[in-house]
Every structure is written in C-alpha cells, then in structure tokens.
C-alpha cells in the first residue's frame, strides 16, 4: 500500500479508537464530557499516536494494549493545547480550525476539560493491566515514561521556561531546552512507549529516545518557520503568532536559512539512526519526512 493510503488508514483507526475510549456523553458530568469530546475530536495530525503505533510495530508488537496508550498520549497532547489556549497563557480563540474549548465552554470548563483529559489519559492507559496482565512490568515502565515526559521535568517544564521567558531575550541554549521539553518530550514518550510495550530492551529504548528527540527538534523548528512563512491553513498568510506573543524563535535568533538547515540536520540524523534499527522502517521514515516538511 502506498504511504498516503496507509497513513489515512492509520489516522482513521486512531480517530475511531479515540472516540471509542472517550466516555459516553451522558449523566451529571454531561457538560465536561462534551467539552472533552469537543477538544479531542477536533482533528489534528495525530502524530504522537501515529509515531507510537509505528514504533510498536517496528519492534514486533502485535497486541491491543498499544491502542490504550495511543489514545492516552493524544489526550495529554490535547489537554496541553486546551490549557495553552487559555486567557492566562496564549489567549487564543481558534485551534485546529475551530473555536477553542474555553471560548465555547467558558474558561472554567476549559481548565476542567484539560485537567479531565490529563487524568482520563491515565484512566485509559491503566486499562491495559486488565487487557494484558502478563505485560504488567512493561505497562508500568510505559506509565512511568508517560508521566515523566508530560511532567514538570518534561512538557510542563518546557512550558514553564517558555512562559517565564516570554518578552525576555533568551539565547539558543534556552530555546533548545524549551523545544526539547515542550515539544520533544511528548514525541519521545510516544516512540519510547511503542518500543517498551513491544518488548524492546533498554539500549533500543535509549536509541528511540534519541531519534524522537531529533524529530521533536526538527518538528518545532519547522513550526517556527511555518509561523513566519505562512501555512496551508491560512492560505499562505503568515500567522506571526510568535511575533505577536513576543517570542524568541529559531528565526529571530538564527534567521530563516540557518533554521531550515537545522531542520534538515535533525531530520537526517533521525532518519539515519532509524535506518540502523533492524526491521522495516520505511513507513516511519516517510512519516518523519512528512511531519518535518509539513505545511501546516
Ligand atoms: C499548558 C502544560 C501546558 C503545556 C503546553 C504543547 C504546549 C505546551 C503548548 C502548545 C503550543 C505549541 C506550539 C507547542 C509546541 C508543540 C506543538 C508544535 C504543538 C502542536 O502540535 P501539533 O502540530 O498539533 O501536533 P495538532 O493540532 O496537529 O495535534
């Protein structure tokens, strides 16, 4: 099957499993359940579950427990976007082509829907203990990676440095740290969990962490580039949201050309490291190229 067809099939499968694992919208929690559904089912590229599922397959995984973790990582990613859009943070009215959660449901429900998605991610992932009890050690390790990479020394930590340094001038080391944590940590978690649940050993998991870290850097620098040169969603018009939010970016620090070279360097490293892993890495390599050279 050609790459694009396979990709669409995988995305459809992810959409279905997200819907399947979300609670039914009913009862006394109807409002928050609706806000969670609104946030999670708003589309999005689904790159974290895609990377997780493919890494799982690469290391020979064949079970269904990965689906619970694929849903969990997308729930955590979505919570971070819902909170990032709040008035106290970026104060954005639109996300993924529609009104943000706090605009539709109010700021209170925006906060709670984000909290609920974060918690529900763990409620979902821990169902894997019932599904494959004999895999409890791998599941425990995967949960540790998920919580650490999303936490104060991972994604949240990156957001903290980012928020604290907004409007300040920062150097490249600090910017790299923000990218590594804010964007990289969840991408690392996605691929590491795929490897862990498939039974990869520690050396292989470390290698995957490194590959994912390069993907995360390339992905975020490309995000900065798209903010300046425009993307397909805004019909070629730049968003310039980084400029509006007074953010230091790769472009403001190094310029467009060097930023493009950095994207190239990180993606090449990721792809070369992927090639050194035994197994069929073709789809993953295509996926990495597509993510890094995306236009939205
Ligand atoms: C609020 C705890 C907390 C964290 C927020 C992820 C994040 C940290 C903020 C979102 C803003 C942003 C641009 C983060 C960098 C990572 C990134 C490029 C997120 C967007 O991810 P995509 O492109 O989004 O995968 P879709 O909508 O496709 O899922």
Quote the mean pLDDT of the chain: 94
DSSP classification of residue 24: P
Rounded distance between C-alpha atoms, residue 255 and residue 235, angstroms: 23
Which tens digits make up the pLDDT trace of 60-91? 999 999 999 999 999 999 999 999 999 999 99
Which tens digits make up the pLDDT trace of 230-281? 754 554 456 767 776 778 899 999 999 999 999 999 999 999 999 999 999 9
User: So what's the pLDDT on residue 246?
Assistant: 75
Cα 271 to averaged position of ligand 1 atoms, centre (Å): 23
Q: Is 183 in the pocket of ligand 1 (CB under 6 A)?
A: yes
> What does the block give as tokens for 254?
């190094």
Cα 161 to averaged position of ligand 1 atoms, centre (Å): 15
Burial of residue 76 (CB within 10 Å: 0-12, 13-18, 19+) is buried
User: So what's the pLDDT on residue 25?
Assistant: 97
Rounded distance between C-alpha atoms, residue 49 and residue 28, angstroms: 30
Ligand 1 atom index nearest CA of 162: 8
Cα 80 to averaged position of ligand 1 atoms, centre (Å): 7
User: So what's the pLDDT on residue 233?
Assistant: 56
Cα–Cα nearest to 68, from 82, 53, 55: 53
Q: Is 78 in the pocket of ligand 1 (CB under 6 A)?
A: no
Cα 223 to averaged position of ligand 1 atoms, centre (Å): 10
Cα 209 to averaged position of ligand 1 atoms, centre (Å): 19
With a pLDDT cut of 90, the percent of the chain lying above it is 86
Q: Is 223 in the pocket of ligand 1 (CB under 6 A)?
A: yes
Place 167 in a pLDDT band, splitting at 50, 70 and 90: confident
User: So what's the pLDDT on residue 235?
Assistant: 41
Q: Is 156 in the pocket of ligand 1 (CB under 6 A)?
A: yes
Q: Is 83 in the pocket of ligand 1 (CB under 6 A)?
A: yes
Rounded distance between C-alpha atoms, residue 161 and residue 182, angstroms: 9
Neighbouring residues of 157: CB distance < 8 A, sequence distance ≥ 6: 151, 181
Q: Is 182 in the pocket of ligand 1 (CB under 6 A)?
A: yes
Cα 159 to averaged position of ligand 1 atoms, centre (Å): 10
Q: Is 226 in the pocket of ligand 1 (CB under 6 A)?
A: no
Which tens digits make up the pLDDT trace of 13-46? 999 999 999 999 999 999 999 999 999 999 899 9
Mean per-residue pLDDT, 48-69: 98
Which tens digits make up the pLDDT trace of 94-128? 998 899 999 999 999 999 999 999 999 999 999 99
Q: Is 44 in the pocket of ligand 1 (CB under 6 A)?
A: yes
**Do 116 and 36 touch, CB atoms closer than 8 A?**
yes
Per-position DSSP letters for 153-172, written without gaps between them:
TTHHHHHHHHHHHTTS---H
């Amino acid at each position: 099957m050609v790459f694009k067809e396979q990709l669409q099939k995988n995305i459809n499968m992810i959409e279905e499993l997200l819907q399947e694992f979300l609670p039914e919208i009913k009862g006394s929690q109807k409002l928050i359940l609706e806000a969670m559904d609104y946030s999670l089912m708003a589309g999005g590229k689904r790159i974290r579950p895609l990377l997780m599922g493919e890494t799982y397959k690469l290391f020979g995984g064949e079970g269904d427990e990965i689906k619970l973790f694929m849903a969990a990582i997308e729930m955590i990613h979505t919570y971070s976007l819902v909170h990032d859009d709040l008035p106290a943070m970026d104060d954005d009215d639109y996300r993924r082509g529609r009104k943000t959660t706090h605009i539709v449901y109010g700021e209170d429900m925006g906060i709670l829907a984000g909290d609920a998605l974060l918690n529900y991610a763990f409620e979902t992932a821990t169902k894997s203990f019932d599904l494959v009890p004999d895999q409890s050690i791998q599941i425990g390790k995967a949960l540790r990676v998920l919580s650490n990479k999303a936490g104060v020394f991972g994604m949240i930590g990156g957001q903290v440095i980012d928020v604290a340094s907004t409007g300040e001038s920062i150097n490249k080391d600090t910017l790299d740290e923000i990218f590594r944590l804010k964007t990289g940590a969840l991408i690392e978690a996605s691929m590491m969990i795929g490897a862990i649940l498939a039974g990869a050993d520690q050396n292989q998991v470390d290698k995957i962490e490194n590959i994912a870290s390069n993907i995360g850097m390339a992905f975020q620098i490309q995000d900065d580039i798209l903010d300046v040169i425009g993307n397909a969603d805004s019909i070629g018009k730049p968003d310039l949201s980084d400029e509006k939010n007074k953010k230091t970016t790769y472009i403001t620090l190094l310029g467009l050309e060097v930023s493009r070279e950095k994207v190239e360097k990180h993606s090449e490293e990721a792809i070369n490291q992927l090639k050194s892993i035994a197994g069929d890495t073709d789809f993953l390599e295509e996926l990495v190229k597509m993510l890094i050279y995306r236009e939205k």
